[in-house]
Amino acid sequence: MNSSYTRLDDGSDSNKGRSTSCVTLAVVLGCLTVLGIILAIAVLERPSAPKDHETLPGEAVGSEFFSDQCRMTLVESIPQDMKYKGNVTFGIPLVKAWKNLISLATHQVDVVSFYWTLTGDDISVNSSSDMFGRQILKDLEELPSRNVSVRLLSSVPSVRTNSTDLKTLKEKGVQVRRVNFGRLTKGVLHSKFWIVDRKHVFIGSANMDWRALTQVKELGVVLYNCSSLGKDLHKIFQSYWVMGQSNSSVPQHWPALYDTVINKEHPLMVKSDNVSSLLYITGSPPSFCPPSRTQDLEAILSIISEAERYVDVAVMEYFPTTRFEKPQRYWPLIDDAIRRAAFEKRIKIRMLVSCGRDSDPAMLPFLQSLASMDSPHHDINIQIKVFIVPVGNQSDIPFSRVNHNKYMVTDKVAYIGTSNWSGDYFMTTAGVGLVISQHAPHPVWKTVLQSQLRVIFDRDWHSEFAVPLADLKHHPDCKLST
């Protein structure tokens, strides 16, 4: 089926659309006192041409921080040959956003990715759909010749591949470090973000993988001319970078230079004319967060507890347990928060959980348990759907054709992260998130990122790719249904 391709940032294109979206969420019993979060909300409308700001903004009323402008844009990857029915809206293509960030670079590019596989050769696959990955690799290779300093980070342990990307880039003058999170925290470096010239930022679900551009459904956000946030995220990058040295050890107390003045209590206020929004970056694991940094889990629990009408979640995996430590442990913190919101505050919960050929069937009982609370007669609303990306003729490409999204949108805030929702990701694994609080008069509400993210969620929720849990039967492209 054909569909229109509408750009969420500033207008519309016409092209063929494709898309997907999945989420993962689970179950448990229990209860949890959740921290509250109060985000000041100001009027927001579409920013005009951004003005650069190179210095950290000064303190303002209410101990919030002001920055003159940040332009925010949602970006997506929609797997090839995945067509939505009707006229639907998409974010800017991820490959376009990455190429644009590279073209803007004048002096420094820092990139963090769990692993690097930008060509089909890296995974012993011959596919023309790796074309965009090869382009990105070539663009990164050329940066040092433009006198742009490039630093790249990946994880130890990581995904086993035949990748030579980092070796090739290093030969071109790029600085490369692998952070042994297995030794440092018994986790991995799962963050995915870019910082360009300390003022342009990408945060999202996509690793430096050609499949993230053409074979996997991804979602992220790019912020342009946002030096305050760029410098703040750079502190997290720098903490990884120093831990990438041999014989490094996580300090009991991080030095003051890693502290932040931008957090849940003091978000960054971005103003443009009569437009304003509040932003802050979250981090995990706790051992990598100074006390001033809002932890990722704290933000997620606060966002759920502060919602007043609805909570929409899209995540690849959802387990109220640990996943990688042995023996596994029950970990109900997020699950309890969801149940409490639905039961005590009558919040409407919708969860899109991903299902693909590599999904763990052990997730299904947790999702069913959570869904069993749904009782409209008692005004308890928890709906769960499984998002299935059709494999089609792409079955020879491993670990693809899946919804890799990791975000949440409520009537209060938008949250875009890099972690799946299970215990290890918040206790031992490195991840980041961006929290955005916005408000606008009705005529311009559709232009703000928070509203656009809900449009994307609704698009996927009502698509032919989202299957209600109760209707999930045997499906060749979803391992949960086998």
The reported pLDDT for the residue numbered 445 is 81
Does residue 24 register a pLDDT over 60?
A: no
The reported pLDDT for the residue numbered 233 is 98
Is residue 165 within 8 A of residue 208, CB to CB? The reply is yes
pLDDT confidence band for 470 (50 / 70 / 90): confident
Percentage, residues of the chain above pLDDT 90: 78
Does residue 188 register a pLDDT over 90?
A: yes
Mean pLDDT of 211-222: 98
Active site residue: 9, 122, 165, 197, which one? 197
Is the backbone peptide bond immediately before 251 cis, with ω within 30 degrees of 0? no
The reported pLDDT for the residue numbered 274 is 66
For residues 138 and 136, give the distance between their C-alpha atoms in angstroms, rounded to a whole number: 5
Percentage, residues of the chain above pLDDT 70: 85
Active site residue: 53, 235, 264, 404, which one? 404
For residue range 70-123, list pLDDT tens digits in order: 999 999 999 999 999 989 999 999 999 999 999 999 999 999 999 999 999 999
Catalytic residue at 197?
A: yes
pLDDT confidence band for 55 (50 / 70 / 90): very low
pLDDT confidence band for 473 (50 / 70 / 90): confident
For residues 76 and 90, give the distance between their C-alpha atoms in angstroms, rounded to a whole number: 7
Is residue 370 within 8 A of residue 338, CB to CB? The reply is yes
Residue 70 phi, psi dihedral angles, 5° rounding: -145, 125
Which DSSP helix (H) or strand (E) runs through 355?
strand 348-355
Mean pLDDT of 365-372: 97
Does residue 30 register a pLDDT over 70?
A: no
Of 344 and 38, which is predicted with more confidence?
344
Q: What is the mean pLDDT of the chain?
A: 87
What's the token pair of residue 214?
């053409």
Q: What angle do CA 114, 116, 118 make, to 5 degrees?
A: 145
**Torsion sign, CA atoms 294, 180, 229, 251:** positive
For residue range 322-366, list pLDDT tens digits in order: 999 999 999 999 999 999 999 999 999 999 999 999 999 999 999
Mean pLDDT of 49-55: 33
pLDDT confidence band for 25 (50 / 70 / 90): very low
As a whole number of Å, the CA-based R_g of the chain is 21
Does residue 282 register a pLDDT over 80?
A: yes
Catalytic residue at 479?
A: no
The model's pTM: 0.87
pLDDT confidence band for 45 (50 / 70 / 90): very low
Between β-strands 149-156 and 108-112, what pairing exists: parallel, antiparallel or unpaired?
A: parallel
Active site residue: 53, 122, 165, 192, which one? 192
Active site residue: 53, 190, 200, 406, which one? 190
The reported pLDDT for the residue numbered 242 is 98
The reported pLDDT for the residue numbered 66 is 58
The reported pLDDT for the residue numbered 463 is 97
